[in-house]
Amino acid sequence: MKSEKSHSQKSQREFGGCVELIPTPPNYIEFIDARRVWAFAICHLTHLALQENPHRASGKTSPPDQFFLFFTTGQVVLRGWRLELLMDPLITGRIARVHAEKHLGTLMIQEAWVAEIHVLLRDSSILQSDNLEQRIEDHP
Q: What pLDDT is attached to residue 10? A: 47
What pLDDT, on the 0 to 100 scale, is given for residue 14? 61
Instruction: Give residue 102's pLDDT band: very low, low, confident or very high (50, 70, 90).
Output: confident
90 belongs to a structural domain: yes
Strands of the sheet containing 28-32, edge to edge, are 37-41, 28-32, 97-99
Residue 16 lies in a domain: no
The pLDDT confidence band at residue 140, using thresholds 50, 70 and 90, is low
Q: Are 80 and 63 in contact (CB under 8 A)?
A: yes
Which range scores top for mean pLDDT: 15-24, 80-89, 125-134? 80-89
Per the domain annotation, does 15 fall within a domain? no
Lowest mean pLDDT among 34-38, 63-67, 130-134: 130-134
Q: Would you state the pLDDT for residue 108?
A: 67
| pLDDT score for 3 | 52
- 8 vs 98: which has the higher pLDDT: 98
Residue 116 domain flag? yes
Q: Which of 42-51, 95-104, 120-129 has the lowest mean pLDDT?
A: 120-129
Residue 41 lies in domain: 23-123
Residue 11's pLDDT band (cuts 50, 70, 90): very low
- Is residue 12 included in any domain, yes or no? no
Domain count, the chain: 1
